[in-house]
Amino acid sequence: MPDGDDSPKRRVLYAFLRATTRFAEKLSVPARQVQEWVRLAYFQELRASGMTVAEACARLGLSAPTGARLSRALKTDFLAEQVEHDLPKRIAFTLWAGPMSRARLAQVLPRTDAEAIDVALATLVREGRVVERKGRTITFEITRAEDRLVRPGWGARLTALTSLLDHVVDTVHARFFESSPSEPPTPHTRSTLVGRQDSPAAFARTVSFRMRREDRAELRRFYEEKLWPFLKGLEERAATRGARDSTRLSILWVSDPEDPRPRDG
């Protein structure tokens, strides 16, 4: 396929698809099943953006019966877990901006069922992460500036995975497509992909290095004793000065026996 004006989009999206297919191959999932799930995920994204089922079907070139089948699949296979685990986290994150009423939360989360919001709020109050304030209008407020509650269970881990991948998507979009490169991108040069890497809104580095097994606990301690207190201090400083901009930072590491060479990329 020759390069064109959409070459940066095609190359970056292809990198995401390589990651998806690599994981599918590790799990021995057939390509046809992956294609079906990609279509389902695209359908869900369009619905979450505000499109009706008919509009989403028109965008994807699907028939009405196929759209109905995809809607049923979302509700039975995916959305129930999302409401149980993902929605409380989203609401808690939203309340960082300040106390809100049920009505205000419904405005902020327009595609979310009101009953689901009530269930999520009840979960947050029961866990002590949110407190209900009585008044002329009942409002909900987070009880602490940071939330480090790690929940066990399959659903909670899936929610954490969704959050991580959403962070990756937003970071990649900011680095490749939102900042202004020093010179116009040209699809036939490498600068097409790296010319936008200095976006002030996003930062990404992957560091590969060698480490002894007995030193892995020290890396964890660094996060707990050094990095987390530093991040907490930034949050407290922002709160005292009324800053509302939020920043997401993902930390993850894994042994990589296939490529032990140190590098910073």
Q: Are residues 169 and 246 in the same domain?
A: yes
Q: Give residue-wise pLDDT tens across range 137-156.
A: 899 988 865 555 556 667 67
Q: Are residues 47 and 108 in the same domain?
A: no
The domain boundary, picked from 149, 171, 188, lies at: 149
CATH of the domain at 139: 1.10.10.10
Is 73 domain-assigned? Answer: no
Is 71 domain-assigned? Answer: no
Q: Are residues 169 and 256 in the same domain?
A: yes
CA distance 249 to 232: 12
**Residue range 195-217: mean pLDDT, rounded:** 78
Q: Give residue-wise pLDDT tens across range 48-71.
A: 787 889 999 999 999 999 999 998
Structure tokens at 45: 């994204």
* Domain, as residue range, for 137: 78-149
Q: Are residues 222 and 250 in the same domain?
A: yes
Q: Are residues 19 and 112 in the same domain?
A: no
Query: How many CB atoms neighbour CB 262 within 10 A?
Result: 8
Is 201 domain-assigned? Answer: yes
pLDDT band at 35 (very low <50, low <70, confident <90, very high): very high
Angle, CA 212 vertex, CA 208 and CA 214 arms, to 5°: 130
Q: How far apart are the first and last CA of the chain?
A: 28
Task: HSE, CB side, 13 Å, CA atoms: give it for residue 93.
Answer: 12
- E-only strand ranges, 45-190: 100-101, 130-133, 139-142
